Structure 1
Amino acid sequence: MARPEKILKYCPSCGSGLFKPDSPKSFHCSSCGFKFFINSAAAVAAVIENDAGEILLTVRGVEPAIGALDLPGGFVDPMESGEEALKREVKEELNLDVSEMQYLISYPNEYIYNGYSVFTTDYGYACKVKNFDNIKVADDIADFQFFNPKEIDFNKISSNSIKKILKFYLSEKK
């Protein structure tokens, strides 16, 4: 039920019910001619290690995948760069200040929110933070924990894109 063609029934321009999919990624309104595209939203994820080489994972406090392990991060706001979004999200979620970041890789994802598929491109970054002195959970996370990379249970990770970002990061470290 989450796919756009199952949810979007009326033209956002004129309100007509003559708003139909005309490809797997677009809709067309026969009444006013409005064309609507389903595009990927940008999201960011931070891989952060402590001095012991453990990876910081958060526990999702909201759906989708409430209770699952995740990387700190979130959606890129309109007119915000990925790097700005990463710094903002890490600050909002954990009260940490990113001091360095390096782009890793991106993967597609389907984020189902309130019964609607939001297609994302999740950009992974390896990050360093100034320190962990004032770390605290906030925003949409319930908890955090540092994991030895060999002890991460990938079955408990929130999404395939986050699993892939983590696995890529760990493979690059070898």
Structure 2
Amino acid sequence: MNRTHPLKVLKYCPKCGSAEFNTSGDRSLKCASCGFHFFINSAAAVAALVTIDSGKLMLVTRGVEPNYGKLDLPGGFIDPLESAEEAVKRELKEELGLEVKTLKYLGSAPNEYVFSEYTVFTLDMAFQVSAESVEGLKPMDDILDYKFYSEEELDYDDIPAPSIKNFVKDYFQSIKA
């Protein structure tokens, strides 16, 4: 288990503050003082596959850690009480000013997102997105830039997240079929 795993990082009960916050199984901690039981669950996240007529796929350049400067699909974490579909629309608006015309769920994949020396396990959900327009988009929020790529223009080593890399590979495989 790596040093960023929640079972290694969390030391105090978030309910009462006790240091008697002990590992209780493979994915939980339990407080000996107040009985609070904390489970390590996956956080939900979305990834948008925005394409143009030529079949090229939009990838963004990350403007924040982890993986600053590396390629990613636009998207992010789902806010509390927000649907995955709402999150896709919000994230694309925040990151690029992009308005969604249609979206279709494609599938999901697990991932590990290390932030501030803490592992957040995620379930990344991919959506095929048709944009109202891809003209005049502006990189904002946590992205530096965006570009539409053909598979030949892409180095998969520039995509660090395994789930995102798989979504991109699946997309290019699907247009070859």
Match of 1:28 in 2: 30
Give the TM-score normalised by the residue count of structure 1: 0.97
Residue 145 of structure 1, CA deviation: 1.0
The partner residue of 2:156 within 145, 149, 154 is 154
**Contact persistence 1:104–1:169 (CA under 8 A):** no
Counterparts of 1:27-106 in structure 2, within 5 Å, are 27-106=29-108
- Give 1:132's aligned residue: 134
- Residue 164 of structure 2 corresponds to residue 165 of structure 1: no
1:109 is matched with which residue: 111, 116, 125? 111
Q: Are the counterparts in 1 of residues 7 and 27 from structure 2 also a CA contact under 8 Å?
A: no
Equivalent residue, structure 2, for 1:145: 147
Q: Could you tell me which amino acid in structure 2 is paired with residue 152 of structure 1?
A: L
- For residue 32 of structure 1, report the CA deviation from its aligned partner: 1.0
Counterpart of 1:38, as a letter, is I
TM-score (norm 2): 0.95
Q: 1:120 aligns to what SS in structure 2?
A: strand
Asked whether the 8 Å contact 1:27–1:35 carries over to 2, the reply is yes
- What is the distance in 1 between the residues matched to 2:33 and 2:128? 48
Q: Is the 8 A contact 1:45 1:74 kept in 2?
A: yes
Is the CA contact (8 Å cut-off) linking 2:9 and 2:118 kept in structure 1? yes
In the alignment, the residues of structure 1 paired with residue 84 and residue 136 of structure 2 have an alpha-carbon distance, to the nearest angstrom, of 24
Could you tell me which of 3, 7, 22 is aligned with 2:9? 7
Q: Which runs of 4+ in 1 moved over 3 A?
A: none
- Report the aligned-residue RMSD: 1.0
Q: Show structure 1 runs of 5+ residues with no match.
A: none
Structure 2: gaps spanning 5 or more residues:
none
Residues 147-174 of structure 1, C-alpha deviation per residue, up to 9 Å, x if partnerless?
1123221110130010011112222232
Structure 1, residues 43-98: CA drift from partner, whole Å, max 9, x if none? 00001111222111100000000010000000000000000000000111011111
- Number of residues of Structure 1 aligned to a counterpart in Structure 2: 174
Identity among equivalent positions (%) equals 49
Partners of 2:58 and 2:94 lie apart in 1 by 15
Offset at 1:24? 1.7
